[in-house]
Every structure is written in structure tokens, then in C-alpha cells.
């Protein structure tokens, strides 16, 4: 049996740990052979492959990024895309495919599964917004990086009596903002799921100064004011139709300064959240996902995604896992009201 492996979408700490888990168990326990597909769905679409065996996965466990490369290529929007993918899988004698990715990459996997391709999915995204799994790998690392940034910003905010705004990733879901904001002791946390009122934000900022502290505002890139829209970086869209976000932090600092007269500055964490070595938890989770994904192939459980439920790894239908994203529940967000202001 020959298995193809690909990593799609934004890179994410732990991708290499998944690949290593798949290959080590696949070769050593099941005697499988592997083909690495380059750059997400571009690999099967263009027939771009790379050797993948035990030698290729040696030493990659603590490395960020992905040794297979990644892209946001979408074969469903390319003429004859599905046929080309099927032909290239056959040309490389690939019997089954393991696709490691977020909602877009796994959405393609679900569509291909419906067209008879043997595919198993592994959930990846620093945003933690994939439905059907309690956590995605990469999220813990991103939260740790964002929390450390919040910790560091406290000292500058207090020394200079400034409002410091920190913009983190999170297009439709505010998981990184919420977790890092709570862990870092932010005074305002703004998430895409809950439109914010600028008057209220300014009231929290002023309240913080009144008790002789300086406010830290954590904002997810997809957060929106009650009256207004998402702030876009530019007009471009990727192959899945996503706009590029970023700018809400700068907008907020400007508004806060104009309305309160307090100096306000912004830090945009950007790709720093996705870069570098994965946390121990992400290596653990990614390794387990890899081991269970190759077991799923062995069992012929195609059309499924491995998922974390509590402490167990389970299999869920790909179609169910990609049907909707997982957002922050309003009741969970409200738990932290006491810390605002
Ligand atoms: O994959 C999720 C994500 O981290 C989003 O939070 C963010 O909007 C996006 O990736 C940015 O991706 P890129 O670097 O490819 O523009």
C-alpha cells in the first residue's frame, strides 16, 4: 500500500510532528510506502511529489513549518481539477491520501472523498476553529506566543501610561484572543463573534487608568465594531475566496487616542504566532493525530477525520467536520466580563 501525504493552508506548528507520526507507524508497523505531495493540493493537482520515508522525517519533530510545503491551492476551482488529482494519484500508484489542513484543505478532502478518493483528514489550524475536534494542534503554541507578548507589553504600558493594543490572528473565531487575553491579564478582549461598542471600550480604558494601571487590549483580526466592517489589509482574495485581514488594531488605537486623549499604540503579532517550534502539547497532539490517521487508513476508514474528544482520538465524518466552523460561545466569553476595564 502506498499513501500520499499533503499539508495545506497556512503553516502551523506541529505539522512535521504529524508527518513523522504517520510515516514512522506506517513504515514500521504496517510496512506501507509513502509519497509526499508538495505544497498542499498543488501537489496532487500538478503531480509535484517528494520522497517521504523514515530518513526524511528524522529530526523534524521540533521543527515548525512543514517539510512538504504548503499553499492555498484549490483544485475545485481549477478546470478539470478533480480529474487531474485522480490521474496524478493513479500515476504515482497512491492508494490513499492523508490530508492535513484546516477547513479549506479538508473541505477539498471531503469533496474528493465524495468522488471516490480514499482520503483521511487531520485537523490543523492555529485558530482552533475546526468543528468536531476539541483542539487543533498549533493553537497551544500560538496562544503561548501571544500570551508572552501580552506579558511583555504590560511593562511598557505601565511605564509609559499608554494604551497598548495587540492584534492576534482569528478570522471568524476569537479563540487565540480569548485564551491569550485571559492568560495574559488583558483588560479588553475583542473577538469576531461579539461586535464591540467603541464607547464601552473607551470606558474600560479610562477605568483602567483611574486605578493607576495602563490598559492592554487584545483584539482578533476579524473583530468588528457595532457599526462597521472587518478591516482588510488589501483587496486580494485567496483561492478559497478569503480576504486578507489586519488593520483592526491600528484602527482601534487611533479611535481610542482620538476619543480618550490617551496615547495608544498597536503591535500586530502576525505570522510570529505561526512560526517556530511547537509547544510540547502540540507535539503530543500532532503525534497522536498522525498515529491515528495511519490507523484509519489501515482500517479503510476513508472519508473521516481524526479528532480529539476529551483525551481520546476519535474518527468523525469529514463532511460533518467541515460543515461549519467552531466559534466562541457567548456564555464562555461572558465568563470573563469581570476582568474587563
Ligand atoms: O490559517 C488561519 C490563519 O492563521 C488566519 O487566522 C489568518 O487570517 C490567516 O491564516 C493568514 O494566512 P496567510 O498568512 O496565508 O495570509
For the segment 158-175, the average pLDDT, to the nearest whole number, is: 96
Domains 2-137+278-321 and 139-275 share a fold: yes
Q: Are strands 33-37 and 49-51 parallel, antiparallel or unpaired?
A: antiparallel
Catalytic residues: 127
* Mean pLDDT computed over every residue of the chain: 96
Higher-pLDDT residue of 193, 233: 193
Report the length, in residues, of the chain. 341
Q: Which three three-digit cell numbers place residue 189?
A: 478582549
For the segment 195-201, the average pLDDT, to the nearest whole number, is: 96
Instruction: Give the residue whose CA is nearest to atom 12 of ligand 1.
Output: 10
Interval 143-157: pLDDT, tens: 999 999 999 999 999
Q: In this predicted structure, what is the pLDDT of residue 86?
A: 97
Q: In this predicted structure, what is the pLDDT of residue 186?
A: 97
Residue 214 clears pLDDT 90, i.e. is over it: yes
Sheet holding 264-268, edge to edge: 188-190, 216-220, 163-168, 264-268
pTM of the entire predicted model: 0.95
Ligand 1 centroid–CA 10 distance in Å is 6
170 in contact with ligand 1, CB cutoff 6 A: yes
**Using CA atoms, how far apart are residues 268 and 273, in angstroms rounded to an integer?**
10
171 in contact with ligand 1, CB cutoff 6 A: yes
Residue 232 clears pLDDT 80, i.e. is over it: no
102 in contact with ligand 1, CB cutoff 6 A: yes
Q: In this predicted structure, what is the pLDDT of residue 202?
A: 97
Q: In this predicted structure, what is the pLDDT of residue 236?
A: 78
Residue 227 clears pLDDT 90, i.e. is over it: no
Nearest atom, ligand 1, residue 10 CA: 1
The CATH number of the structural domain formed by 2-137+278-321 is: 3.40.50.450
Distances from the Cα of 335 to the Cαs of 135, 175, 204, 242, 331, in angstroms? 20, 14, 17, 31, 6
10 in contact with ligand 1, CB cutoff 6 A: yes
Nearest atom, ligand 1, residue 271 CA: 14
Distances from the Cα of 210 to the Cαs of 134, 162, 182, 224, 262, in angstroms? 39, 13, 21, 27, 12
For the segment 20-29, the average pLDDT, to the nearest whole number, is: 98
**Using CA atoms, how far apart are residues 135 and 141, in angstroms rounded to an integer?**
12
What are the backbone angles phi and psi of residue 121, rounded to the nearest 5°?
-105, 150
Q: Which CATH class is domain 139-275?
A: alpha beta
Ligand 1 centroid–CA 271 distance in Å is 8
**Residue recorded with cell 490513499:** 96
Interval 44-67: pLDDT, tens: 999 999 999 999 999 999 999 999
Nearest atom, ligand 1, residue 242 CA: 8
What 8-state DSSP symbol labels residue 162? -
Choose among 213, 224, 148: nearest CA to 179.
148
169 in contact with ligand 1, CB cutoff 6 A: yes
For the chain, domain boundaries: 2-137+278-321, 139-275
Interval 237-287: pLDDT, tens: 787 878 777 789 999 999 999 999 999 999 999 999 999 999 999 999 999
Burial of 243 (0-12, 13-18, 19+ CB in 10 A): middle
Nearest atom, ligand 1, residue 176 CA: 6
Ligand 1 centroid–CA 298 distance in Å is 32
Pocket test for ligand 1, best of 100, 171, 328 (most atoms within 8 A of CB): 171
Amino acid at each position: 500500500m502506498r499513501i500520499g501525504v499533503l499539508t495545506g493552508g497556512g503553516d502551523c506548528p506541529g505539522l512535521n510532528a504529524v508527518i513523522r507520526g504517520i510515516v514512522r507507524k506506517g513504515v514500521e508497523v504496517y510496512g506501507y510506502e509513502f509519497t509526499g505531495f508538495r505544497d498542499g493540493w498543488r501537489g496532487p493537482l500538478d503531480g509535484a511529489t517528494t520522497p517521504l520515508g523514515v530518513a526524511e522525517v528524522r529530526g523534524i519533530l521540533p521543527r515548525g513549518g512543514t517539510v512538504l510545503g504548503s499553499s492555498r491551492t484549490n483544485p475545485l476551482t481549477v478546470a478539470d481539477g478533480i480529474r487531474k488529482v485522480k490521474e496524478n494519484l493513479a500515476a504515482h500508484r497512491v492508494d490513499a491520501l492523508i490530508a492535513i489542513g484546516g477547513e479549506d484543505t479538508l473541505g477539498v478532502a471531503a469533496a474528493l472523498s465524495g468522488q471516490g478518493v480514499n482520503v483521511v483528514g487531520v485537523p490543523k489550524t492555529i485558530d482552533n476553529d475546526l468543528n468536531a475536534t476539541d483542539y487543533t494542534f498549533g493553537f497551544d503554541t500560538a496562544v503561548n506566543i501571544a500570551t508572552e507578548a501580552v506579558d511583555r507589553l504590560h511593562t511598557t504600558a505601565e511605564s509609559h501610561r499608554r494604551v497598548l493594543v495587540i492584534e492576534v490572528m482569528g478570522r471568524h473565531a476569537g479563540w487565540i484572543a480569548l485564551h491569550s487575553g485571559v492568560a495574559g491579564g488583558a483588560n479588553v478582549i475583542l473577538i469576531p463573534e461579539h461586535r464591540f461598542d467603541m464607547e464601552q471600550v473607551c470606558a474600560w480604558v479610562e477605568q483602567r487608568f483611574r486605578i493607576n494601571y495602563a490598559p492592554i487590549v487584545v483584539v482578533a483580526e476579524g473583530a468588528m465594531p457595532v457599526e462597521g466592517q472587518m478591516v482588510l489589509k488589501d483587496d486580494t482574495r485567496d483561492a478559497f475566496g478569503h480576504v486578507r485581514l489586519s488593520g483592526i488594531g491600528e484602527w482601534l488605537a487611533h479611535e481610542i487616542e482620538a476619543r480618550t486623549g490617551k496615547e495608544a499604540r498597536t503591535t500586530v503579532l502576525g505570522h510570529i504566532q505561526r512560526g517556530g517550534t511547537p509547544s510540547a502539547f502540540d507535539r503530543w497532539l500532532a503525534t497522536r493525530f498522525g498515529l491515528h490517521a495511519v490507523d484509519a487508513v489501515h482500517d479503510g476508514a476513508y472519508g473521516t477525520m481524526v479528532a480529539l474528544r476529551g483525551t481520546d482520538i476519535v474518527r468523525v465524518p469529514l463532511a460533518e467536520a467541515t460543515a461549519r466552523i467552531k466559534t466562541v460561545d457567548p456564555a464562555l466569553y461572558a465568563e470573563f466580563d469581570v476582568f474587563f476595564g
